[in-house]
Amino acid sequence: MATPLTIAGTNPARHPLEQPILSISVAHSNDGSERRVDSLGLSKKIVEMLRDEWGIENLFPPQAEALPAALAGKNLMLTIPTASGKSLVAHLTIAHRLTTDLEGLRALYIVPLKALATEKVQELREIGDVVGLRVGLAIGDREGETGTIEDCDILVCTSEKLDSLLRSRSELLNKIGIWARAYT
């Protein structure tokens, strides 16, 4: 079953939701085509980390189709099968954009479940560490979350925690330059 992932970047002059969304939906692909990660214009440090730590040198076809658009700042709705690489598209897009055209802004990664939030934080920290991005977690049941929320470049949170932040501390969200939303 395919689940969607939404990535929305911002044009500094426009709100992310005012921009059109590119929708990519792939049931499966057996054409064997791949695209090398080092051909995307990503940071050399990220490319080396993907190769050395995660064993990734090539992308699956849906990733190869989605990443150039996402890295260029296009809004994206990616619907591909489970375990086919949606998260990697989001992670690479966030890290790349926060260190290039959105430098000085923050990212928000919204997930439906606490367990998924914890998993995504670990993945994003591995990428963020190599390019100097701090990743925070906000799921509502941890002491000391406030400092993490305020000091991070990438905030991973549940939908419920985002709702709480919007109601009580909306100023923390003023500098969001890009967001991703994972679904179950």
pLDDT in tens, 88-111: 999 999 999 999 999 999 999 999
C-beta separation of 111 from 117 below 8 A: yes
Range of the domain at 165: 2-182
For residue 87, what is the domain's CATH number? 3.40.50.300
Bridge-partner residues for 58, per DSSP?
36
CA distance 55 to 112: 28
Q: What is the mean pLDDT of residues 71-80?
A: 86
Residue 50, pLDDT above cutoff 90 = yes
Kindly provide the b/e burial profile for residues 127-150, where b requires at least 16 CB atoms within 10 angstroms of the residue's own CB.
Answer: bbebbebebbbbbeeeeebeebbe
Number of residues that this document lists for the chain:
184
Q: What is the mean pLDDT of residues 2-23?
A: 49
Looking at this protein, which amino acid is placed at residue 178?
A: I
In this predicted structure, which of 4-13, 110-119, 131-140 has the lowest mean pLDDT?
A: 4-13
Counted domains in the chain:
1
Radius of gyration of the chain (CA): 16
pTM above 0.85, yes or no: no
Q: What is the pLDDT of residue 8?
A: 54
Of 7 and 35, more confident: 35
Burial of residue 184 (CB within 10 Å: 0-12, 13-18, 19+) is exposed
When the pLDDT of each residue in the chain is averaged and rounded to a whole number, the result is 81
Residue 29, pLDDT above cutoff 60 = no
Q: What is the pLDDT of residue 80?
A: 80
Give, for 45, the enclosing helix (H) or strand (E): helix 44-54
Burial of residue 12 (CB within 10 Å: 0-12, 13-18, 19+) is exposed
Sign of the alpha-carbon dihedral angle for 59, 5, 7, 111: negative
First to last CA, the chain: 10
